[in-house]
């Protein structure tokens, strides 16, 4: 015999999950955009940081990938949990006209009125305000900078991160 109250409980749980996943999407996407904009200023330049897909192929020409820079584009918006974003950093050569382009994957997790973000396969920064200003995200910018710089100082770390799918690069 069917129990309609049990089905109602499942429907309510499904509705809550759907609402939470939409809220997660609506929070993380603007946060990612704020971090891209803030990191551009932090590193000093306009074309040096862009959002790119967190997995698969990407171009380093500064194109706007819109929603495709987030894992929700590839995995679907109905997800409660971590949302990834690809962050491309373009580093111009000082000795020629070349550019080194590096993708770092940022993993965002909303935790009530705060969020945490993991930089590549490195440090997790927690307790950041969802409605924060660019200066509130300074720890994220500092850690992205340190993470990228560490790749050149410790290339073994780079290869481990690349193998884990948390970083990638394009020669230009």
- pLDDT for res 89: 92
Paired tokens of 58: 């990407």
Q: CA dist 134 to 5, 57, 80, 94, 137, Å? A: 47, 29, 25, 29, 5
Contact 160, 121 (CB under 8 A): yes
Four-point Cα dihedral 73, 52, 154, 145, nearest 10:
-110
In whole angstroms, what is the distance from residue 106 CA to residue 73 CA? 15
Domain count, the chain: 1
- pLDDT for res 133: 87
Q: What is the mean pLDDT of the chain?
A: 86
> pLDDT tens digits for 27-83?
999 999 999 999 999 998 766 899 999 999 998 887 889 999 999 887 766 777 899
- What are the start-end ranges of the H helices in 44-169? 71-75, 138-153, 155-163
Domain span holding position 99: 4-171
The distance of Cα 67 from the centroid of its chain, to the nearest Å, equals: 12
Q: Kindly state the average pLDDT of the residues 86-108.
A: 90
What global pTM score does this model have? 0.83
Q: What is the 3-state secondary structure (H, E, C) of 91-109?
A: EECCCCCCEEEEEEEEEEE
Backbone angles phi, psi at 64, to 5 degrees: -90, 115
> pLDDT tens digits for 128-168?
999 998 889 999 999 999 999 888 877 666 666 666 666 66
17 band by pLDDT with thresholds 50, 70 and 90: confident
Q: How many residues appear in the chain?
A: 172
- pLDDT for res 24: 85
**Residue 169 clears pLDDT 60, i.e. is over it:** no
> pLDDT tens digits for 84-93?
999 999 988 8
């Amino acid at each position: 015999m069917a129990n309609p109250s049990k089905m109602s409980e499942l429907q309510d749980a499904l509705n809550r999950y759907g609402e939470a996943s939409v809220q997660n999407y609506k929070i993380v996407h603007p946060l990612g955009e704020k971090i891209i904009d803030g990191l551009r200023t932090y590193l000093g330049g306009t074309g040096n940081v862009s959002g790119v897909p967190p997995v698969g192929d990407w171009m380093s020409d500064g194109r706007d990938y819109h929603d495709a820079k987030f894992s929700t584009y590839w995995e679907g918006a109905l997800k409660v949990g971590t949302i990834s974003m690809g962050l491309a950093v373009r580093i111009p050569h000082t000795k020629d006209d070349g550019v080194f382009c590096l993708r770092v994957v940022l993993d965002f997790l909303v935790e009530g009125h705060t969020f945490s973000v993991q930089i590549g396969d490195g440090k997790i920064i927690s307790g950041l305000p969802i409605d924060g200003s660019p200066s509130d995200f300074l720890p994220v910018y500092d850690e992205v900078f340190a993470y990228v710089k560490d790749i050149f100082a410790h290339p073994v770390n780079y290869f481990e991160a690349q193998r884990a799918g948390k970083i990638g690069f394009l020669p230009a």
